[in-house]
Structure 1
Amino acid sequence: MSDATVKPKIAISACLMGAEVRFNGGHKQSDLCSRTLTEYFDFVPVCPEVAIGLGIPRQPIRLVGDAGQPEAVGTTQSDLNVTRPLAEYGEKMAAELNDICGYIFMQKSPSCGLERVKVYHANGAPVDGGGRGIYAQAFCARHPDLPVEEAGRLNDPVLRENFLTRVFAYSDWQQLRRDGLTRRALIDFHSRYKYLLMAHHPVQYKTLGNLLGNMGHTDPEELGPRYFSELMAALKQCATRRTHSNVLQHLSGYLKRVISAEDKQEMQHVIGQYRHGIVPLVVPLTLLKHYFRQHPDPYIAQQVYLQPHPEKLSLRNAI
């Protein structure tokens, strides 16, 4: 981030921040969001059900009908149908929250759940696979590139690291847009993200390189959004020990002329340990950074892969 004083903004289901807005008057406070992450992000709490005028407490709502286009109706009064107000509020907030870099939704919620939310047939039987909350569906349709995740899935260290990597990439792109999208800026941006992209999606790493390599006289304002959409889709694929190890090998190649045979052997040993699940990613990375501090390389120094999020978050200690 070019301006360290401005924290990226993340929208979040208000109940996850401890607001007592659930149908039963309770909350679903997430310690990760309300304690750990508040140091790094400005959270924007939203509760669509309260916003459209449903009280606290209130009768719960549920999704009924076709999983692709369900209706949100009251569980005790089926004549209460809030499908349209929830969808319209989703569209309204999507227009207002155009400076956020991510959204954390409450799982299983008929308004906010992202996937596998229970949907019922008219006879009360559950629909296979479930669906997506009405508000979340309307919001996400207008921000297809925005990193979104459900709070429950953030308990998984790989998914947590992946989501926050994408949030910071989104923030980085917003800064680029503010500074002005030139061809040079686009190529520099891609250059910094090369190894991160290689770790997440080796095929798209090549595709996006070719896209920019063949830019020619294409207007960056036209190419930029397409490039960024493809980058965000690629980063959504979680990196694996195998793809991380491949990137670590590439990076260690930049040291082959400057470190001793003994140090090279140690580097290979540690990358092998990581690949086989013996040590977390932070171990080979720390060793690499140590050597690059002794033997600086300007190209490697600018790589986002080495530090895609604040070190103090320790996200790579558990993957």
Structure 2
Amino acid sequence: MTAITIGVSACLLGQEVRYDGGHKHDRYITDTLGHFFNFLPICPEVECGLPTPREAMRLEGDPENPHLMTRTSRIDRTGQMTAYCEARARALESEDLCGFIFKKDSPSSGLYRVKVYNNNVAAKTGRGLFADAVVRHFPLLPVEEEGRLNDAEIRENFIERVFSYRRWKDFLLKSPDIHGLVQFHTAHKLLIMSHSTQYYRELGALVGNPHQLPEKELFAAYEELFMKALALHATVKKNTNVLMHIMGYFKKQLDQGEKQELLAVIDQYHNRLVPLIVPLTLLKHYVHKYDQTYLKQQIYLAPHPAELMLRNHV
């Protein structure tokens, strides 16, 4: 797999670029994700020409089209910031990004529920100007805020999407053709199913009738559906469905005791008594014991490094 690069708000990497001259170093990002990802640090406020330290700013006015105002001197920095954001977003096209982690609550980089003021009354209805520019320019790019990564399910979903996006980009780098797309889709079938049966059907129909579109359009349509599918969370219910689907491949090999044990473990997972890694470990044992070639190639069984322990939460 090609090296994975993600954009990260520079302050989260320990760079002293915040308005007060400080940082918001996030150890999970640098000490854990840093083993698997390359980071592209970005601080929009510094890169657009503002000093450190600097006067604090906030968003004001219409949440859909807010102004970026300094708090005390009342200088409107909107034009300066938006010009930077548009140019920087275009420049990011050459960085081969597979994801972006933004600083929460920032008027430039906050992704969700950023405060927007009207008559000095704040409503958490906005998005930072730079984060908004990135999302609009790269609508399929996996994006998240560092604060939300504390939620195990959100963390797993984001990181899984980052690795999946890298696999898709790698596919596009290798002189892609329809045969290759079929192979890619086949390997990702169960992963897609764990996120959305609707998108699973739509992607299957797309790959099953590949000549209805020119190749370039076919790949673009697949990418859009694929990334939209993975943006939906793989819930316990969805995963249970996939686990039972996998078990079906062993109906002729497992004896009665093995079937009962596997069903019991899947039921424990379904009732949130054990993490997903428990039934998956048993299933992977059977995959290799009975040499299930189709299942061996399924990305679902190992969509990201085990060291991240993303499937170890209940």
Q: What's the TM-score bracket when you normalise by the shorter of the two chains?
A: over 0.9
Shift in Å, 1:246 = 0.3
Shift in Å, 1:14 = 0.3
Q: Does 1:100 align with 2:97?
A: yes
CA distance in 1, matches of 2:49, 2:89: 19
Q: Does 1:33 align with 2:29?
A: yes
Q: What does 1:129-144 correspond to in 2, within 5 Å? A: 129-144=124-139
Given that 1:52 and 1:86 are in contact with CA atoms closer than 8 Å, whether structure 2 keeps it comes out as yes
Q: TM-score, normalised by structure 2?
A: 0.96
Could you tell me which amino acid in structure 1 is paired with residue 98 of structure 2?
Answer: C
In structure 1, the partner of 2:19 is: 23
In structure 2, the partner of 1:283 is: 278
1:175 to 170, 173, 180: 170
Other structure's SS at 2:114 match: coil
Given that 1:186 and 1:220 are in contact with CA atoms closer than 8 Å, whether structure 2 keeps it comes out as no
In structure 1, the partner of 2:4 is: 8
Stretch deviating more after TM superposition (182-191 or 85-94): 85-94
Other structure's SS at 2:211 match: coil
- Quote the RMSD (CA, aligned, Å): 1.2
Could you tell me which amino acid in structure 1 is paired with residue 187 of structure 2?
Answer: R
In structure 2, the partner of 1:68 is: 64
Given that 2:288 and 2:296 are in contact with CA atoms closer than 8 Å, whether structure 1 keeps it comes out as no
Other structure's SS at 2:126 match: coil
Shift in Å, 1:217 = 4.6
1:58 to 34, 54, 59: 54
Could you tell me which amino acid in structure 2 is paired with residue 184 of structure 1?
Answer: H
CA distance in 1, matches of 2:312, 2:297: 22
CA distance in 2, matches of 1:34, 1:296: 38
Other structure's SS at 1:130 match: strand
CA distance in 1, matches of 2:213, 2:48: 44
Other structure's SS at 1:103 match: strand
Q: Does 1:221 align with 2:221?
A: no
Q: How many aligned residue pairs are there?
A: 312
In structure 2, the partner of 1:49 is: 45
Given that 1:23 and 1:60 are in contact with CA atoms closer than 8 Å, whether structure 2 keeps it comes out as yes
Stretch deviating more after TM superposition (147-156 or 94-103): 94-103
Stretch deviating more after TM superposition (201-210 or 283-292): 201-210
CA distance in 1, matches of 2:238, 2:147: 26
In structure 2, the partner of 1:191 is: 186
Moved over 6 A (4+): none
CA distance in 2, matches of 1:31, 1:210: 43
In structure 2, the partner of 1:119 is: 116
Given that 1:181 and 1:221 are in contact with CA atoms closer than 8 Å, whether structure 2 keeps it comes out as no
In structure 1, the partner of 2:246 is: 251
Could you tell me which amino acid in structure 2 is paired with residue 62 of structure 1?
Answer: R
CA distance in 1, matches of 2:288, 2:99: 33
Q: TM-score, normalised by structure 1?
A: 0.95
Q: Deviations over 1:86-135 (max 9, x none)?
A: 223222232222301000000000000111100011x21223x4211011
Given that 2:59 and 2:117 are in contact with CA atoms closer than 8 Å, whether structure 1 keeps it comes out as yes
Q: Deviations over 1:60-110 (max 9, x none)?
A: 1100110001011101111x2222232232222322223010000000000
CA distance in 1, matches of 2:245, 2:50: 55
Other structure's SS at 2:194 match: helix
Q: Does 1:298 align with 2:293?
A: yes
Q: Deviations over 1:266-314 (max 9, x none)?
A: 1110000000000000000000011111112221111111011011111
Could you tell me which amino acid in structure 1 is paired with residue 89 of structure 2?
Answer: A
Could you tell me which amino acid in structure 1 is paired with residue 197 of structure 2?
Answer: P
CA distance in 2, matches of 1:221, 1:261: 49
Gaps of 5+ in 2: none
Given that 1:88 and 1:138 are in contact with CA atoms closer than 8 Å, whether structure 2 keeps it comes out as no
CA distance in 1, matches of 2:89, 2:192: 27
CA distance in 2, matches of 1:84, 1:142: 18
Could you tell me which amino acid in structure 1 is paired with residue 103 of structure 2?
Answer: M
Could you tell me which amino acid in structure 2 is paired with residue 97 of structure 1?
Answer: L
CA distance in 2, matches of 1:101, 1:93: 16
CA distance in 1, matches of 2:193, 2:78: 41
